[in-house]
Each structure stands twice: as C-alpha cells, then as structure tokens.
Amino acid sequence: MFGEFVISWVRRRNIIAALISIIFAMIHGGRSRERDVEHDDLPPMNWHAGLVPSPNRFPNECSLSLTKIEAQYLRERIRLSPGCAGSFLAELIARPDRCAPVDFAWWLPHLIELPHRVREQLMHARNFSELMHGAPLLYNLILSEQEHQKDRVTDYRNRLAEWSGMVSERFNDFKSWRRDEFWGHVKIGNPRIGQRTIDFINSWWDHVLTGNVDELLYKPAVRTMITDRERQLKKNLARIGNPRARELWNGEAGSAQLDFRWQISQNLLSDIFDGLEVADA
C-alpha cells in the first residue's frame, strides 16, 4: 500500500545476496527510461549497462555477503532508478551511516530530516497501522472465545488493553487525521481497491474514534462487523462460527501489527551497509 518504503524487489531474506544484483539490473519494459537519448537507436537491453561483473572465483566460490563494489552499485541504483529515486528507501540508503534497528519505520529518530512528502506518507502509514491493529486482535479474541482457550482469551484481552491505551494516548492525532488525504495516497498505489474494503476500514475507525475504546471488544455491532467481513472474504471457509474451519487456526491469524515489511527493509539495508563498510581490496 505504501510503495515508497515497501520493498517490492525481493520477498525472502535468504536469497537477497544471491539475486539482488540480477533483480536490480533487470529493467521494466522494453526500453530503459535511463538510456542516453544519443543512443536511442540502439536495440533495447535487458540488463543495466553498469552491472557489476561477477566475482573472479564465481561460481566455484560463492558468498551471501555483498562486496563493496556490489553494495555501491546497489546504493546508486536505488538512489537513481526512476522507480525508486526520492523514495523513503532511497533517502535511507543515501545516509552516511546505517540507522539503528527499530520495530517500525516511523520510530526512526531522524524523521524530521526527511522530505515532507516522505514524512507525510509515514504519518499515514503509522496511523493506519496503529488504528487497524485492534481489528485482528479482536478477531483472534473471538476465535479464542469460541475455542474456549482461556489462556489465549486472557492474552488477547491484554493485548487489546495495550492497544486501547495507545489509541487513548494518540487520540487527538487520530481525530485530526485527514482520511481523504489518506485514501488519496492509497488509491494512487491501488486504484482498484474495493469499496467493501474502504467501508470496513472507515466503519472500524468510526467505532474506535466515536466511542469508549475500552468497551469496543464487547460491542455486538463491532463483533458483527468483524464476522461479516471475514465471511465476505472467506465465504464458507470463515472461522467465526465454524468449528471445522477453526481446526487449522494456530492461535495467531494476522495478529502482528502491520509494519509494511519494514523488518525486511532493514535487513536489506543492513546487507548493503555491510558491503559498503568492507575494506577496499
């Protein structure tokens, strides 16, 4: 949803060092937008002209660590590629030093130094992540109750209480949040987002911001909304009210707070900074 910092060029950490140069070298479409206009008569290339050469001993000797030249190449491609230049990722990779690990991107200490556009997107991302976090927690609480799992019921009620405290602390921020601006950003990234999804999210926000958050998990209307949403998405495979479908539930169904793949992003940035810090051969 927030493509500026959701890294779409890789999904699995354990293949990054082996494939990263190939992924970044491939161009999208038949003709690169970065090609010099003086050479526009040349046939289109499938690889970036500056792709770094393979190591001397490849493939007999392989490593998942980036060399300094590979790391420098990736940093420049992130900073200069049309699809990534000016993004949150590009801003982070351009810094002279790596950032200390944090759980969420909006916890970085130097956000004030970022361009306004990036800070605005991070604000929308944070508000969405924190406000919506209560919905999957309530969903898992309902399943725990139906399965009569007392320990999990206690756990999810405690987690909902922590979430409620966070909402109370940031209540004024949430109330002043411009939803129209948020949906504008979202629809740029996904113009085909369904109206049912929009209605569910807006309804959840209305319940959270117009009532007593501590009492939210007990409201029949809110529980019905969660139940109906699952049935819209899963049809006969919905777990609420369906003991057979709950047999495959392991107690955790999307209960982690949404971080927009920030942990993956941090790992990728760490790989690159590790390579940049390698001593020159």
Q: Say if residues 82 and 33 touch (Cβ distance below 8 Å).
A: yes
Residue among 67, 64, 76 nearest 17 (CA): 64
Phi-psi region of 148 (alpha: psi -120 to 50; beta: other; left: phi over 0): left
Give the pLDDT confidence score for residue 233 in this predicted structure.
Answer: 94
Tokens 């306004």 found at: 116
| pLDDT score for 258 | 95
Dihedral angle sign, alpha carbons of residues 10, 77, 108, 267: positive
pLDDT mean values, one per 10 residues, the chain (281 residues): 34 36 38 43 64 81 87 92 89 92 95 93 96 96 97 97 95 94 92 94 94 88 96 95 94 93 94 88 55
Measured CA to CA, the distance from residue 92 to residue 161 in angstroms comes to 34
Angle, helices 179-189 vs 195-210, to 10°: value is 150
Inter-CA distances, 113 with 62, 88, 91, 187, Å: 38, 12, 10, 27
What's the pTM value of the predicted model, to 2 decimals? 0.80
Pairwise CA distance, residues 238 & 215, whole Å = 25
What is the per-residue pLDDT for 197? Answer: 95
| pLDDT at res. 12 | 31
